[in-house]
Amino acid sequence: MLIEFLGVRGTVPVSGRKFIYYGGETHCLRIISKNGGEILVDAGTGIRRLQPEINLNLRKRKLRFNIFFTHFHLDHVIGLPFFEPLYWPEAEFNFYSPWPAGKIKSVLSGLMAAPYFPVPFRKTASRKNFYQLKQSRLRLGNFRLRFLEVNHPGGAFAYRIEEGDKALVVVTDHEPDGGQADQELVEFCRRASCLVYDSTYTETEFERKRGWGHSTWKNGLKIMKEAGVDILVLSHFSPDYDDVTITRLLRKARLEYRKVWAARQGYILELQPGKSLSKERNRGRK
């Protein structure tokens, strides 16, 4: 299983010299199966980073996009209206969420409604399918998927994506409250290979912004240890965090536990079958 970080920010995209190393696009993950199948988690501005590859391999590639939404706040969907395949008749989009199919369609249509956007969602040329996820495990190619509702204003969902003996858990927006929801999340992450976790705030910021629906690297580390997760990847960084700030947070986390990484835009995490350790490699796209 390969995990490509196309966008690692929350709230809004950022740019500039201070944000080059970790990147400034909003949340989008690409997960690639060993048999070549793939899914996307969210459609923040990071989804547009697929465009050069799609253009290069247009004749070889099946233009089918399976997108699983954690929720529908702007930073997790705003890349979709600017993703060119949405306008191509040969492209097919399968949109997944625990929300009812009709509600998924309605929300995405509202995203591209006047006066906010010039092209209505229904007039884009691609084929579109909408699927409501049920609590039973979904099989999609080699992948097995489950979801869990987490603590975030308006609702949000974590995903557990499994292939073979490897499991990835993605938690983009969750505010720990010390209650039942936290314990359910620990069980959901139990013995996962990798946890990609909401690291929007420092501990000091978290105390000032309770109720905003986000977490810290320290809580991610707590979940990792309690659930027996192999690797923690900090992600969904605040737009106020430049490269220096994120590196400092990562160093603090690694003082407590060695197997902690910080998500970097354009980088790939490889979960290797039969091994507890994984490796990071760069596909060469910044």
Q: pLDDT at position 244, please?
A: 97
Q: Name the token pair of 124.
A: 């884009």
Contact indicator for 234, 262 with CB cutoff of 8 Å: yes
Q: pLDDT at position 280, please?
A: 59
Residues of the chain with pLDDT under 50: 276-277, 284-286
3-state secondary structure (DSSP) of residue 137 = coil
Q: pLDDT at position 264, please?
A: 96
- Whole-model pTM: value is 0.93
Contact indicator for 48, 83 with CB cutoff of 8 Å: yes
Angle at Cα 54 formed by Cα 51 and Cα 55, nearest 5°? 85
Query: How far, CA to CA in Å, does 33 sit from each of 74, 101, 249?
Result: 28, 26, 31
Domains in the chain and their CATH numbers?
2-282 (3.60.15.10)
For 101, counting Cβ atoms within 10 Å of its Cβ (0-12 exposed, 13-18 middle, 19+ buried), the class is middle
CA distance 280 to 271: 9
3-state secondary structure (DSSP) of residue 88 = coil
- pLDDT tens digits for 89-110? 999 999 999 999 999 999 999 9
Q: Name the token pair of 22.
A: 């970790």
